[in-house]
Amino acid sequence: MSDGLYMSDLYVILTERLADLTGIEYFTFAFNIFVYFFSNSIVSHHRDIDEDTIKSRTRLLHGFNLLVFISFIASIVLVDEGFPADEVSRTSLTLLASYLIFNAIEALLLSKYGEDIEVMGVSRKVETPTSRTLELVAFSVIVMTVIIGLINVWEITGLLETTGVIGFLALIVFTTKDYWLRDFLSGILVIGGNSAKRGDVISIPEAGILGIILEIRGLQTRIRDLAQGHDIEIPNYNLLQYRTDYLRKSKGGPFKDFVEFHIGYGIPSSDVKDYLNAVYNAVSNSSSSLDALREPKITIRENSNNAVIWRLTYVLERPYQLLLVRNSINMAAYDLQDEYGIQLSTPQLEKLVDG
């Protein structure tokens, strides 16, 4: 009997609480349910290059959904009149709506100003300097608008009345500039100067990075490591601070790579050239990244103390296969040693050590 009375009382309390909820709370909850059920469509419509990024954006969107749901439950359970249910609902709605607005602006800018390129064998629509710069500007405007909006929601307007909107924004920028301003401006300079874009293969020797750019964000650049296949995130400032090699076709001509071989003295240069040409032909016949009709360039980089350093230079059609082609060339060079009577060891050095 007591359980029945308890359930009856609980039903009455919940009914009264639901009746006391404001319209904004109901709207926020309904909007949240709508976004949750269509979250996959919202995120997959975005320009992400891989499944990992799509999953991370979906998790972030579901995090906003959870925040809104918790605030709605708190509005029902916490019957204390001092609980700021209306403010919590408005805050949750503001954050969720701002995220969706930014995604919509990104998609619109990409469709209008983006370009189609091939990234790792797959055709994708990617950013241009114009679209990415406008994205950064839109992101900044949305963040500032959200901050001012939340201040008004929570009625913390004393600071705005003292300094004004411009003064408040200047204060925010000044107090947080050491954490984001350098990388944010570097991102704008990199994108605006068209020095880097998604799909570019880059090398940063000082940082030990060789990979393909997946995404240039507001503060960081995400790179897929060519050797190990994992993702690396570096501050945008590093692209300007360190020497960065962009391995791509330029106005100076196609992208060229090379492999060097240490071959002992006493072998006619014509024999070495025949050997290296055979190495190149063996790889070009089995790789789409090398043109079998294009002649490689064979030169001597240095006559060192222990061996002659020969350089085999070739045009690489797909820079993201750089390591794969290098490995294929080294493998072919190893396999063809006996056939051409050329050894890749340094016999003079071996004799010196044995003696």
- How large a percentage of the chain has pLDDT more than 90? 29
Which DSSP letter does residue 229 get?
A: -
Residue 2 has pLDDT above 80, yes or no: no
pLDDT of residue 115: 76
Count of Cβ atoms closer than 10 Å to residue 291 Cβ = 15
Question: Per residue in 71-88, is it b (16+ CB within 10 Å) or e — as a string?
Answer: bbeebeeeeeeeebbbeb
Query: What tokens does 17 get?
Result: 């609480």
- How large a percentage of the chain has pLDDT more than 70? 78
- In this prediction, residue 1 has a pLDDT band, given cuts at 50, 70 and 90, of very low
What distances in angstroms separate CA 92 from CA 11, 71, 118, 144, one per listed residue?
A: 27, 8, 39, 16
* The amino acid at 234: I
The 10s digit of each residue's pLDDT in 20-43 is 666 777 777 788 888 888 887 777
The answer to whether 196 and 242 are in contact (CB under 8 A) is no
The answer to whether 263 and 308 are in contact (CB under 8 A) is yes
Q: Which helix (H) or strand (E) holds 2?
A: helix 2-20
pLDDT of residue 81: 60
pLDDT of residue 353: 47
Among the listed residues 215, 189, 191, the one whose alpha carbon sits nearest the alpha carbon of residue 50: 215
Q: Which helix (H) or strand (E) holds 225?
A: strand 220-225
- In this prediction, residue 7 has a pLDDT band, given cuts at 50, 70 and 90, of low
Residue 154 has pLDDT above 50, yes or no: yes
d(CA 140, CA 223): 24
The answer to whether 231 and 224 are in contact (CB under 8 A) is yes
Question: First vs last Cα of the chain: how many Å apart?
Answer: 103
The answer to whether 114 and 47 are in contact (CB under 8 A) is yes
Domains and their CATH numbers in the chain: 1-112 (no CATH), 114-248 (2.30.30.60), 256-354 (3.30.70.100)
Phi-psi map region of 194: left, alpha, beta (phi>0 left; psi -120 to 50 alpha): left
The answer to whether 212 and 199 are in contact (CB under 8 A) is yes
Q: Which residue has the higher pLDDT, 247 or 85?
A: 247
The answer to whether 153 and 86 are in contact (CB under 8 A) is no
- In this prediction, residue 346 has a pLDDT band, given cuts at 50, 70 and 90, of low
* Residue carrying structure tokens 């750089």: 322
Strands 245-246 and 256-263: unpaired
Q: Which residue has the higher pLDDT, 45 or 65?
A: 65
pLDDT of residue 347: 56
The 10s digit of each residue's pLDDT in 224-252 is 999 999 999 999 999 999 999 999 887 77
2-20 helix and 51-77 helix, angle to the nearest 10 degrees? 110
129-153 helix and 85-113 helix, angle to the nearest 10 degrees? 170
Cα 176 to its chain centre, rounded Å, is: 24
pLDDT of residue 204: 95
Phi, psi for 191 (deg, rounded to 5): -70, -45
Q: Which CB contacts under 8 angstroms, 24+ apart, belong to 104-108? A: 105/135, 105/138, 105/142, 106/46, 106/47, 106/135, 106/138, 107/45, 107/46, 107/47
Collect all residues with Cβ–Cβ distance below 8 Å to 276 and sequence separation of at least 6: 261, 296, 298, 310, 312, 333
Residue 77 has pLDDT above 80, yes or no: no
- In this prediction, residue 48 has a pLDDT band, given cuts at 50, 70 and 90, of very low
pLDDT of residue 251: 75
The answer to whether 331 and 286 are in contact (CB under 8 A) is no
Question: Does the pTM exceed 0.75?
Answer: no
pLDDT of residue 178: 75
Query: What tokens does 338 get?
Result: 């006996």
Does residue 221 sit in helix, strand or coil?
strand
pLDDT of residue 351: 47
Q: Which residue has the higher pLDDT, 104 or 159?
A: 104
